[in-house]
Each structure stands twice: as C-alpha cells, then as structure tokens.
Amino acid sequence: MIVEGSNLIIEKLPKIRTRTVRSWTPVRAPDIVGLARSRALRRCPGRELAPRSLPVSADRTCHWCHSTVSATAITHLRCFSAENTDVSQPRLSVAVVGAGPSGFYTSKYLTSAVLHRIEKANDRNDKRDEGDAPALAPFDWSGIDIDILERLPTPYGLVRYGVAPDHPEVKNVEHDFAAQFETSNNNPSSSLSFFGGVEVGKDVKLSALQSMYDVVVLAYGCQAADRRLNIPGEDLEGVLSAREFVAWYNGHPEFGHIGTIVKECLWGSSDICDVDDDQVSTAKVVVVGQGNVALDVARILAKGKRGLIETDTPSSVLEILKGGASHVSILGRRGHVQGAFTIKGDSHRTMLRAKELRELTKLNKEGHNAKLIIRRGELELGMNDSSVAELKGASGRPKTRIDILLRDSAVSETDNPKDEAPKTVCLRFLLSPTSIEAKDSDGGRVGGVVCERTRLEGGPFKQNSVSTGEIETLPADLVLTSIGYKGMPLEGMKGRDQFDHQQSVVNNLHGKVTGDNNLFASGWIKRGPSGIIGTNIMDAKDTVKSIMMFIEENGRVRDEKDGRRGLEKYLEAHETVPIRWENFQAIEVAETDPARLRNDAQPREKILQITEMESIAGILKQ
C-alpha cells in the first residue's frame, strides 16, 4: 500500500511534528498515530500513548473520535488509536453513591487522575526502552470504570432540587455533568455508568458494594434531615424547614405533601380555585436564618406565580403560591456583619451573600410589587467596635460590600415603606427565636414566633450573641427554619465509628473514611452542609488524592472485582430495575416537551411522581 503525499500528524504533546509517509510502516510508540474518517481537522482530547508498535494492517478504530478507517486508506492522521488490551491488567472499579455535584466532580477528577497515571506509566516504560528515565512503579490497572448510584430516578442532586428556579444559570453545571458520560465513554480506558432508582442501604447493602468494587465513594449529601432550633412549638402545624419548602417548590417527588401545608398556611380553608392568580396572601411568613436558602425562600414567596411563570417551577406549585405572601421576615440571631458571607466562614453559621441580597433590593424595581425593608436602627445596633474591626482586612471586603448594600436600602423608624408596595420582605437582625406560639383560635397551629433581642459581646471574630431580655413576638402563619441541612448515616454504617453524630458527617481524613475499608467520602457528607456547587471541585480533588494514595499503596490485593457486572447481577437477583442514563434521557425529553409547557420560556415542566418517571423511562418496577 502506498499512500502518497499524505501528512502523518504525530502528536507528542505539547509539540506537533509532521512528516510525510510514502508507504505503510509500523509506527512506533511514543508516536501517536490516529486515523480519522473525514478530512476535516478535528481536535481530539486524547493523550493516550501507544504500546510498542502498531502494525497498520487491519481496520482501526480511533478511540477518541470513534471513527473507523479501513486498512486500505489513510486519510488524516490526527489522534491516537491503539488496542492496548492488556488483559492481564484489570480496570479499577469504583462505585459513587450519589449523583449530585460531589459525585460528578469526584468521578471527573478520579478518571483524569487514573488516566494520567496510566499515561505516565506507559510514558516512562517507553522512555526506559530508549534508556532514558528510571522505571516508575507499575500501575496495577489498565483503566477505570465508575458507576454512579442514585436513590432518585434523576441525577444532579440539589442542582435539580435545591437551586432556586429563578436561578437557571446556576443549573448550567448539569451540562458539564452530562458531558462526562460522553467524555468518559469515548476513552477506551474509562467508562461511566448511571444507576438511578437504586438506594444504597435498601436496594443494595453498603457492605455488598464494598466487596463488589475496589473503591466506594460516599457522596450522598445532607438532604435527609434538618438542624433543629430545639425550641418549644417547633412541631406545630405550619412550621416547616426551608429544606422541605425548597424541595416542594422544586418539584421533588417526595415533598408533594408540603404543598397542602403551604396552601393551608397561605389561604386557610379557601378553595384554591377561588383565589385569583394575583391575589396576595395576607399570611405572615417568618424565616429563621439568613443564609442563601433563607433568602431564596423569601424571594420565591415574594415573587409568586407571576414572577416565576417563566421558570421551571412546577405549575402545581404556582397554583398554590398565587400572588405570593404579603409579609416575609427573615431573622438573624447576630448582626449583619457577623452574618455576612466569607469564604472561611464556619459551616453552621448563616451567611448573607451579596448576590441574593442584591436580588432582594431589586424586587420592586423589577415589578414584583415587593419591597425589601431593613431597619437602620438594627444595623447600628450591630456596629460595635468589634464589628467595625471585622470589616477591615482581606476577609472584610465582602462584608463591607454587604454593609454598604444594606445601608443603601435601610429605612428609619419614621419611614413608612409599606406604602410603596403591597408585599414586604423584612431583613431583621439581632433577634433570636425562643419559642413558637400557637394561634389563639387553633392550639395545634402556629400563631407567632417569640424572639429575644440579642446583643453582641466579645472581640472581633469571636463575638457571641447574648440575650438582652427584651422580647418581640412576630405574628406568623408559616414558619420556615433555615439553619442548616443535616447528614445521616447510611444503613449499614458501622455504629459510631464511621459516622460522627456531633457534626453529622462521615468520619474521614481528607476523604478517606476511618477504619480498615475501601470507603471514601466527598461533598457535604464529608465536610458538612456548607459551600456552593463550586466548593465541591476542590473537595473532590482532595478525596481523589486520598483514593490515588490508597490504590497505589494497596495495589490489587484482591482478585479482580465484579464491579458493574456484579451490581447488575445483584440488582437483578433482588428484582430492582435501575434507571440507566438513556432511561433518564427519556425523562428529560418528556419534561422539556413543548406540549407539556405553559409558555415558550418555561425550560421544563418537572414530573412529580416517581411512578410516572419510571413509566416514561420504560421501567417496570415491582
């Protein structure tokens, strides 16, 4: 075979060399030779190196762009293709429990760490042939297969069920996560698989997973429970956690019942069909806590149906919100300076953030008929010498911006901002709830929140709020506690050893779960329920470092693990039908079907029942 004049592009990163080939030649490693179907230059992300020689005598498949080129023609040579099937070396099998941001970022970085390690091992071995570098310890695996297990039929965790519907840009990260299936599965040495509708602890035992896989990563977050206020009256009707409220307005299939409670609080016994779309509920809502979740729920209640009509808020939720609530108070125990977000903030403290605050200040301007009220007096109360000191320095910059933002919006006692808009959102500081009172007319239902005025004491960054004895009772028809999510141990976690019940996280050191096991942790269940989506990036890298250390140290001490095959057999034996990625795609298609949407701008109408999701996904469950 003679191929005249074709350009052989040999990529040896980072430089690119070219030479012209006149005939078929065996191509030696570390030259990277690829075969592409079309003449269009396509950039392949691969960095894999060839094993020894590549006799080009049969049809080859480029592992990066998946094109097949027959042996009779070489067109463009772009990317590397090799059949590095060294069957004596199995692949690392990993199970990730939880398909939220931490699960996806851990999969992403672990895959690239393993592939990079394989590349280094091959690279050094090749150099050794040429007499260059000293030998690197061999890597015991030839690839990596990751299975992401998720309790719900749908992945993405709080990105789908936590991020507010009027923050669609924050949900963009879903594209990155979905793309990982493509990237991983386009590489011959890695693969990623989704198992939805599989609950670890129930559908598959944690111990079974640990024996089926080389590595198990717990990334299931903190959505199981709430931090409690632990004050009398917390269990009255009409007292919910913000977590439950958020899950409801985001269409979480297990929180539909919250809608009934919210409806009763906002509209009493009125028939919801008799309530006008723009009718504002006279209910008073009190939110305890000032983190981003607290500000989210206040904003959703202020915007109501009209303000959310073009978001992915489920229609049934809008039918209950109608015109929104006339009065929402957001209470903070400390001053505004202490509550303001800093990157090194303590995980259990509330954190006011500029973005959500700014949104609240713009509510009226943007036509939502809701005004943000901040009492100047309460800002002054919190500005003692220690607070002034806390505004200085590097960590003071974000706090200073929040201080300025709040002052710009503040009103004095004599102003009457209620005249400006039918709905008000009131940010209150230095108030600590001590008990929740029932209504006079209904002893089982919430009527008000009794608060104590607090005062700040202590040096900068060490201030505590202490009670002054002054009482203020805020009338309330709905109370939403927003003081933190809480993690729970998985069924099967060994008693107190593996779970820290104080911090409500898994016991771990840099992501390695304590004890002689192959368990790791990532995300909120590792570090506590704090931080934003992006915080999981560094958290995942930290866990991945621990995993790499673990697998390098222990090598392959056991026989090859069953991994994905084992899980599939196990689930079949237990009559559990998992939802695979393509099944989930069917759910996505259904939710975004224009016939289902209330207007052109709505991104999706979420499916609210698990049984409906399963039926659309083509799954028959017992």
Partner 1 sequence: MGRSFASSLNTQGARRSFAQETVSFTYIDPTGEEFPVEAEGGKHLLDVAHDNNIELEGACGGELACSTCHLVFEEKIYDKLPPMSEEEEDMLDLAFELTDTSRLGCQIQVTKDLEGMTVRIPDDGY
Q: Is 173 in the site for partner 1 (CB under 8 A)?
A: yes
- Is the CB of 349 or the CB of 564 nearer to partner 1? 349
Q: Which of residues 502-521 bind partner 1 (CB under 8 A)?
A: 510
Q: Least CB distance from residue 89 to partner 1, whole Å?
A: 26
Going residue by residue from 274 to 313, which x/- string records binding to partner 1, judged by CB under 8 A? Answer: ----------------------------------------
**Which residues, including other chains, have CB under 8 Å from residue 540's CB and lie 6 or more apart?**
102, 105, 106, 108, 109, 522, 523
**What is the spatial distance between Cα 280 and Cα 327, in angstroms, rounded to a whole number?**
10
Q: Is 169 in the site for partner 1 (CB under 8 A)?
A: yes
Chain-centroid distance of CA 294 in Å reads 18
Q: Least CB distance from residue 354 to partner 1, whole Å?
A: 4
DSSP, res 121: H
Q: Least CB distance from residue 539 to partner 1, whole Å?
A: 8
- Is the CB of 169 or the CB of 271 nearer to partner 1? 169
Q: Is 394 in the site for partner 1 (CB under 8 A)?
A: yes
**What is the spatial distance between Cα 230 and Cα 546, in angstroms, rounded to a whole number?**
37
| Of 361, 288, 281, 369, residue with least CA distance to 326 | 281
Q: Is 42 in the site for partner 1 (CB under 8 A)?
A: no
- Residues 251/317, Cβ–Cβ less than 8 Å: yes
For 230-271, what is the HEC assignment? Answer: CCCCCCCECEEEHHHHHHHHCCCCCCCHHHHHHHHHHHCCCC
Q: Is 366 in the site for partner 1 (CB under 8 A)?
A: no
Going residue by residue from 534 to 553, which x/- string records binding to partner 1, judged by CB under 8 A? Answer: x--xx--xx--x--------
Chain-centroid distance of CA 332 in Å reads 26
- Is the CB of 595 or the CB of 601 nearer to partner 1? 601
Q: Is 12 in the site for partner 1 (CB under 8 A)?
A: no
| Of 191, 199, 219, residue with least CA distance to 101 | 219
| 132 backbone φψ class: left, alpha, beta (φ>0; ψ -120 to 50) | alpha
Q: Is 609 in the site for partner 1 (CB under 8 A)?
A: no
- Is the CB of 12 or the CB of 397 nearer to partner 1? 397
Q: Of these, 397, 494, 558, 565, which contacts partner 1 (CB under 8 A)?
A: 397
Going residue by residue from 319 to 358, which x/- string records binding to partner 1, judged by CB under 8 A? Answer: ----------------------x-x---------xxx--x
Q: Least CB distance from residue 14 to partner 1, whole Å?
A: 8
Q: Least CB distance from residue 608 to partner 1, whole Å?
A: 26
Q: Is 45 in the site for partner 1 (CB under 8 A)?
A: yes
Q: Which two tokens stand for residue 62?
A: 């480029």
Rounded to whole angstroms, what are the CA distances from 227 to 33, 472, 488, 497, 531?
57, 24, 11, 22, 16
Gap between the terminal Cα atoms of the chain: 59
Which residue reads 């779309």 in tokens? 277
**Segment near partner 1 (CB under 8 A), from 49-57, 393-401, 519-527, 566-574?**
393-401
Q: Is 398 in the site for partner 1 (CB under 8 A)?
A: yes
Q: Which chain residues interact with partner 1 by CB under 8 A?
A: 45, 167, 169-170, 172-173, 175-176, 341, 343, 353-355, 358, 394, 397-398, 401, 510, 532-534, 537-538, 541-542, 545
